[in-house]
């Protein structure tokens, strides 16, 4: 969350790890972003642009200003599509792509990724590129810790994200 | 037989989870309940056996919007038991912290949760997508952010702040740190005055039920952390007498308790009650902004709570600027407290209304028992009573509109179900 308090500047990329780490596999987004952040911080600063890292249990309105300040945002989150647990789903976000989660959406407690991106779009704060990296979850039961196949997917997902960042043009 | 059934299985733009179910047969309400299905939270039980220093941090977790209120009520109650006297500097910093919470909570409710009802939008997102209203949403978000920034500076972080504790603060901000926020606070003050004028132009249903308004009242200032409990029906009691007058009751359809006044039944706490009972304590610009609306206050129209909330945002910005100008960093930032056995209670004014905490400690400083009455638990019975009076007014409307009006009525209270369960979906049934 260190990026939240930094002075405003444009990032070439903002990594957003979303999920409740006390709800089993919902914690996969934070875990992946934490790994990538550690790798990034160990690098010699080179020609690649600035990258911001934010880990949150659930999106916050405060993210709107950060979104407006980056060239791209990559949102890493647990997803449920019926694919095998640990499967990585990578896609560019489009309006209407994320389903209504039903009950959660209604209250301000239910301000999720979909609502964040819809609000950012309405306010003209969306970065030029918005990518979703979803890791298929097996369980979101209460308690800490990822299920085995999702835990296994953390390393490969972090690796793919690191390669993605390394290849960003400055 | 004609039956109207209003079913809102999951109420939107409130904090937490609840439903509204109304059945009207041949124009007569047969069934009406706010069903609070958010699970019970058992905080009072968690606290038993815990050290008093943990109470502000644990109870803050009851709410992500108003954690400061929980920290303030618990700290004051425990300080009474332990005989701790805080310094005037700590008192001022606590009031500044509360201003920050009022700003962020009220700005969120006015612009993102409540305004869409008045303007006919499904959500703040659809409101923001309308170019005519986008500037209003942007203004509300910036006003809220200023409250969050002030809260983060004093508390260490925006949600569940770390610094406030029994006796004061683990760390008090420097004068320089606070002065750096002044330009944004000055912008916020101007924006909040515009907000009052904007809320005053909304359409308010003609609805003024007769009910009791209850809030704190302090001789010298608009109430936040201190005062006596007063009402428009002549109640004037010390906080310590709260439980003699206000009964908390479990009802089968709600995981939240209903609190009612022993003598008068349901009552209203929160911005509208506070404003009505403390008009003479408004800060100068808040008073002027309210007068310029042309609306008559005191007012018992619960829909005008959005105006009251906006006036309180002006007040909070004014107070924040005043406190910062006069700020002297507390030394020490925290008064040490030694354990001792005893009983103490305190009420502070959370954004949504009075928040009552009562603790009993043993001689080791461990919590033997506690009672917490959140503002929404106090307002729930008033919400139901309001609906009983209001539903007949909307029966002639198309079903969707009737449902929306009932939801809007509930949202007048800015209900925080998460706080109260320790609540909203609308189910209107017409037969």
Q: What is the pLDDT of residues B175-218, one digit of tens each?
A: 999 999 999 999 999 999 999 999 999 999 999 999 999 999 99
- Name the residue in chain B with its Cα closest to that of A2: B157
CB count, 10 Å around CB of B206? Answer: 7
Pairing of strands B367-373, B353-361: antiparallel
pLDDT value at B295 more than 90: yes
User: According to the model, what pLDDT value does residue A5 have?
Assistant: 41
Helix (H, G, I), strand (E, B) or coil at B24: strand
Q: Residue B151 to residues B144, B186, B320, B321: CA-CA distances in angstroms?
A: 11, 16, 11, 14
Q: How far apart are CA B379 and CA B341, in angstroms?
A: 33
Asked if B112 is an interface residue toward chain A (Cβ–Cβ < 8 A), one would say yes
Q: Measured between beta carbons, which residues in chain B are less than 8 angstroms from residue A64?
A: 141
For chain B, the straight-line distance linking the first and the last C-alpha, in angstroms and rounded, comes to: 6
Helix (H, G, I), strand (E, B) or coil at B377: helix
Which residue in A62, A119, A124 is closest to B125 by CB distance?
A119
Q: Residue B162, class by beta-carbon neighbours within 10 Å (0-12 exposed, 13-18 middle, 19+ buried)?
A: middle
Q: Tens digit of pLDDT for each residue in B9-27? A: 776 666 666 788 889 888 8
- Name the residue in chain A with its Cα closest to that of B105: A108
Which residue in B9, B16, B138 is closest to A107 by CB distance?
B16
- Neighbouring C-alpha atoms within 13 Å toward the C-beta of B191: 25
Beta partners for residue B429, in sequence order: B4, B23
Average pLDDT, chain B: 91
Grade residue A102 by pLDDT with cuts at 50, 70 and 90: very low
Which residue in B9, B11, B129 is closest to A122 by CB distance?
B129
Q: Tens digit of pLDDT for each residue in B126-168? A: 999 999 999 999 999 999 999 999 999 999 988 889 999 999 9
Nearest-CA neighbor of A90 among A63, A129, A61? A129
Which residue in B10, B13, B15 is closest to A103 by CB distance?
B10
Compute the Cα dihedral for B336, B340, B346, B352 and give only its sign: positive
Asked if B135 is an interface residue toward chain A (Cβ–Cβ < 8 A), one would say no
pLDDT value at B122 more than 70: yes
Q: Tens digit of pLDDT for each residue in B301-340? A: 999 999 999 999 999 999 999 999 999 999 999 999 999 9
- Name the residue in chain A with its Cα closest to that of B11: A106
Q: Tell me which residues of chain A have a C-beta less than 8 Å from any C-beta of chain B.
A: 61-62, 64-65, 102-103, 105-109, 115, 118-119, 121-124
The residues, any chain, with a CB within 8 Å of residue A27's CB and separated by 6 or more, are: A19, A20, A21, A78, A144, A145, A146
Indicate the helix (H) or strand (E) that contains B106.
Answer: helix B88-107
Grade residue B430 by pLDDT with cuts at 50, 70 and 90: low
User: According to the model, what pLDDT value does residue B249 have?
Assistant: 83
Q: Residue B24 to residues B8, B160, B206: CA-CA distances in angstroms?
A: 15, 43, 21
Q: Measured between beta carbons, which residues in chain A are less than 8 angstroms from residue B124?
A: 119
User: According to the model, what pLDDT value does residue A8 have?
Assistant: 42
Nearest-CA neighbor of B57 among B41, B42, B70, B43? B70
Domains of chain A: 14-102+118-166 (3.40.50.1450)
Grade residue A49 by pLDDT with cuts at 50, 70 and 90: low
Which residue in B12, B14, B125 is closest to A122 by CB distance?
B125
Region of poorest pLDDT, from A116-130, B30-44, B98-112, B272-286: B30-44
Q: In terms of DSSP H, where are the helices of B108-210?
A: 115-119, 124-128, 134-155, 175-179, 182-200
User: According to the model, what pLDDT value does residue A168 have?
Assistant: 81
- Name the residue in chain A with its Cα closest to that of B13: A107
Pairing of strands B228-231, B236-237: antiparallel
CB count, 10 Å around CB of B400? Answer: 8
Asked if B148 is an interface residue toward chain A (Cβ–Cβ < 8 A), one would say yes
Which tokens hold the place of B158? 């925006």
Asked if B29 is an interface residue toward chain A (Cβ–Cβ < 8 A), one would say no
Which residue in A107, A118, A121 is closest to B14 by CB distance?
A107
| Phi, psi angles (nearest 5°) of residue B293 | -70, -25
Q: Measured between beta carbons, which residues in chain B are less than 8 angstroms from residue A61?
A: 108, 112, 141, 144-145
CA of residue A127 relative to chain centroid, distance = 14
User: According to the model, what pLDDT value does residue A109 have?
Assistant: 53
pLDDT value at A125 more than 50: yes
Compute the Cα dihedral for B248, B254, B256, B258 and give only its sign: negative
The answer to whether B271 touches B66, Cβ cutoff 8 Å, is: no
Q: What is the DSSP string of B55-100?
A: HHHHHHTT-SS-HHHHHHHHHHHHHHHHT----HHHHHHHHHHHHH
Chain A and chain B share a number of CB contacts under 8 A equal to 57
CA distance, residue B13 to nearest chain A CA (Å): 5
Contact B12 A106 (CB under 8 A): yes
User: According to the model, what pLDDT value does residue B237 have?
Assistant: 98
pLDDT value at B104 more than 90: yes
């Amino acid at each position: 969350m260190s990026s939240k308090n930094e002075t405003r500047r444009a990032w070439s990329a903002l990594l957003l790890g979303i999920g409740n780490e006390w709800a089993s596999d919902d914690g996969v987004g934070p875990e992946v972003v934490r790994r990538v952040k550690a790798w990034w911080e160990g690098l010699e600063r080179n020609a690649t642009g600035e990258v911001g890292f934010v880990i949150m249990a659930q999106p916050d309105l405060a993210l709107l200003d950060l979104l407006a300040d980056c060239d791209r945002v990559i949102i890493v989150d647990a997803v449920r599509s019926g694919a095998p647990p640990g499967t990585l789903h990578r896609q560019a976000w489009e309006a209407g792509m994320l389903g209504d989660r039903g009950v959660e959406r209604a209250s301000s407690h239910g301000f999720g990724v979909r609502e964040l991106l819809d609000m950012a779009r309405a306010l003209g704060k969306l970065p030029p590129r918005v990518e979703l990296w979803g890791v298929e979850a097996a369980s979101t039961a209460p308690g800490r810790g990822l299920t085995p196949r999702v835990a296994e997917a953390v390393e490969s997902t972090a690796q793919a994200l690191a390669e993605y960042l390394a290849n960003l043009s400055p | 037989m004609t039956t109207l059934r209003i079913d809102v299985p999951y109420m939107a733009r409130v904090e937490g989870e609840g439903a509204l179910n109304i059945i009207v047969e041949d124009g007569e309400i047969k069934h009406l309940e706010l069903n609070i299905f958010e699970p019970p939270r058992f905080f009072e039980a968690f606290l038993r056996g815990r050290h008093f220093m943990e109470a502000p941090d644990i109870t803050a977790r009851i709410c992500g919007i108003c954690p400061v209120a929980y920290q303030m009520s618990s700290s004051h109650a425990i300080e009474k038991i332990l005989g701790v006297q805080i310094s005037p500097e700590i008192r001022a910093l606590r009031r500044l912290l509360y201003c920050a919470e009022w700003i962020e909570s009220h700005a969120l409710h006015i612009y993102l949760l409540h305004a869409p009802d008045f303007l006919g939008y499904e959500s703040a997102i659809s409101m923001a997508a309308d170019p005519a209203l986008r500037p209003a949403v942007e203004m509300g978000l910036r006003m809220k952010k200023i409250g969050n920034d002030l809260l983060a500076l004093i508390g260490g972080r925006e949600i569940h702040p770390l610094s406030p504790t029994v006796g004061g603060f683990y760390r008090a901000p420097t004068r320089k740190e606070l002065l750096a926020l002044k330009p944004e606070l000055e912008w916020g003050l101007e924006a909040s005055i515009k907000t009052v004028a904007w809320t005053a132009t909304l359409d308010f249903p003609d609805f003024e039920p007769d009910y009791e308004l209850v809030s704190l009242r302090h001789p010298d200032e608009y109430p936040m952390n201190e005062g006596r409990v007063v009402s428009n029906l002549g109640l004037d009691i010390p906080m310590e007498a709260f439980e003699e007058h206000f009964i908390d009751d479990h009802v089968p359809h709600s995981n939240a308790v209903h609190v009612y006044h022993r003598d008068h039944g349901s009552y209203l706490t929160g911005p509208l009650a506070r404003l009505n009972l403390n008009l003479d304590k408004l800060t100068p610009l808040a008073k002027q902004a309210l007068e310029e609306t042309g609306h008559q206050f005191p007012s018992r129209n619960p829909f005008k709570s959005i105006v009251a909330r906006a006036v309180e945002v002006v007040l909070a910005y004014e107070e924040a600027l005043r406190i910062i100008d006069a700020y002297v960093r507390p030394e020490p930032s925290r008064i040490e407290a030694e354990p001792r056995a005893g009983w103490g209670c305190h009420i502070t004014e959370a954004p949504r209304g009075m928040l009552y905490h009562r603790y009993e400690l043993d001689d080791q400083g461990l919590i033997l028992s506690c009672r917490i009455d959140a503002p929404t638990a106090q307002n729930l019975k008033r919400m139901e009573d309001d609906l009983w009076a209001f539903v007949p007014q909307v029966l002639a409307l198309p079903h969707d509109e009737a449902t929306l009006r009932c939801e809007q009525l509930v949202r007048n209270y800015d209900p925080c179900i998460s706080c109260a369960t320790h609540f909203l979906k609308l189910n209107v049934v017409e037969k």
